[in-house]
Amino acid sequence: MAQLEPYRDRLKSEGANLVYIAAEKRQGMFKPLEFLAKNPISFPFLFDEDRTVTKTYGVYQRLGVDAINIARPTTFVIDRNGIIRYLYVGSSQYDRAPVDEVLAAVHEANIDESRPKIEGEPR
């Protein structure tokens, strides 16, 4: 969240809609509701309390050196047709997608979506 929040205006101008998803309980150990109250964000925030979303997308980590029952830090850029245009799965809880790569992927997805489709061209 912290790395993309400063780019919210740029992302919105590109037509991007961000959704933050955390594999934790609302009243969890790290007090996420308190954190969000003190540090408001511009985009929707989902608590994946039962880990359904993180398991569905294959980023759930039951046990790791630095994680127990949580998701690996992951960034998806998904276009308007539901196609994943960019995927970054962190190798640790501290490994995040490079911001410049995310911004470039959003821009590219927006360009590809806004150009006219050529007859017979796959999308």
- What span, in angstroms and rounded, lies between the C-alpha atoms of 54 and 20? 12
pLDDT grade, residue 63 (50/70/90)? low
Mean pLDDT of the chain: 84
pLDDT on residue 82:
87
Tell me the pLDDT band of 118, cut-offs 50, 70 and 90: very low
> What are the beta bridge partners of residue 89?
74
Domain assignment present for residue 48? The answer is yes
DSSP the chain: -TTTGGGHHHHHHTT----EEESS-TT-TT-HHHHHHHS--SS-EEE-TT-HHHHHTT-EEEEETTEEEEEPPEEEEE-TTS-EEEEEE-SSTT----HHHHHHHHHHHHHHHHSPPPTT---
Looking at the predicted structure, is the pLDDT value of residue 69 above 90?
no
24 located within any domain? yes
* Domains contained in the chain, number: 1
What's the whole-number mean pLDDT along residues 86-94? 89
Domain that residue 60 falls in: 5-114
User: What CATH number is attached to the domain comprising 76?
Assistant: 3.40.30.10
Q: Does residue 123 form part of some domain? A: no
For 6-52, the pLDDT digits (tens) are: 999 999 898 888 898 888 888 877 788 898 899 888 889 899 999 99
Task: Give the closest residue to 5 by CA, choosing from 79, 96, 81.
Answer: 96
